[in-house]
Structure 1
Amino acid sequence: MYRFGKIDFSNLNLPGKSSIQQMQSYSCSKLCNVLFVRELANHLEGTKVTCYSVHPGLVNTEVFRHMKFLVKILLIPLAALFFRTPADGAQTSIYCAVQEGIEKFSGRYFTDCKVQEVLPHARDDAVARKLWEISERMVGLQSQ
């Protein structure tokens, strides 16, 4: 979903009442996750601590719990047929947590237990740095 994200630095807390607005907000949050991990990896360089952004795939969880009834009627049967189980969805996260030899990929995006190149707007280091700085201000931390 990061592919559809677009960051509006003037309004990072997008409200989402309609299903379309909620999907836009979700996409933006996924893009922010990818960019934030890129910048976090820069801050962790030389510490032997690594970080990765992970796409678990479509996972059949409680993701539909806040959707309207009619949307649920359409999506829940599809989820049962085509989505991964939570255990299957966790595999890439587990891989990144325990796999030796992937340290050189810190800050990168993984899907299906493999590093994957993200689209250019999710590799923008200037935007990642700005997101980091704004996040620090929002939580009351100073840049070091």
Structure 2
Amino acid sequence: MLWQFFQAYCNSKLCNVLFTHELAKRLQGSSVTCYSVHPGNSNIQHNWTGNIQHTWTGNIQHTWTGNSTPGQAGAQTTLHCALQEGIEPLSGRYFSCCEVQEVSDRAKDDAVARKLWEVSESLCGLSS
């Protein structure tokens, strides 16, 4: 049961990265930018094992040391992406700790991102 929860969480984070990747492609040429961001430490890891040092989110490694807390510290990367001037060319990229991060090939697969978009449209009743 625990592993299924963890896998679902990881898949949801991978989908966030893929969806943002596709959205940025669709918004290219407009003045709108989008970024996927590490959600910050929510202490959810403690609910899994009590002391996880590494989590894998969509093949993106995050090291959690337990030193930062939810709230203000967790919001810093989101605020950075919303307010930082000059990062517009990085639209569609993944940020953690206020810096762009490399993601796995799986997390930047154009075909999978496009399929996710199409399935999302269908499930929302937006496809033609």
Could you tell me the TM-score, scaled by structure 2's length? 0.80
Give the superposition deviation at 1:111. Answer: 0.7
* Percent identity (aligned): 56
Structural mapping, 1:67-106, within 5 Å: 67=47, 74-75=50-51, 82-85=66-69, 86-106=71-91
Higher Rg: 1
Contact kept, 8 Å, 2:16 with 2:36, in 1: the verdict is: yes
Could you tell me the TM-score, scaled by structure 1's length? 0.72
Q: Structure 1: which amino acid aligns with 2:32? A: V
The match for 2:32 among 39, 43, 49 is: 49
Q: Structure 2: which amino acid aligns with 1:27? A: C
Q: Which has the higher strand share?
A: 2
Give the superposition deviation at 1:82. Answer: 1.2
Unaligned runs of 5+ in 1: 1-17, 76-80
Q: Which has the higher helix share?
A: 1
Corresponding pairs, count:
114
Q: Structure 1: which amino acid aligns with 2:25? A: N
- Cα deviation code 1:8-35 (max 9, x no counterpart): xxxxxxxxxx111000101110100000
Task: Give the aligned CA root-mean-square deviation in angstroms.
Answer: 2.0
Distance, in Å, in 2 between the alignment partners of 1:57 and 1:64 is 11
Q: Structure 2: which amino acid aligns with 1:121? A: R
Distance, in Å, in 2 between the alignment partners of 1:23 and 1:64 is 9
The 3-state SS of whatever aligns with 1:82 is coil
Structure scoring higher RCO (CA < 8 A, sep ≥ 6) equals: 2
Give the superposition deviation at 1:83. Answer: 4.5
Q: Structure 2: which amino acid aligns with 1:25? A: A
Distance, in Å, in 1 between the alignment partners of 2:98 and 2:33 is 16
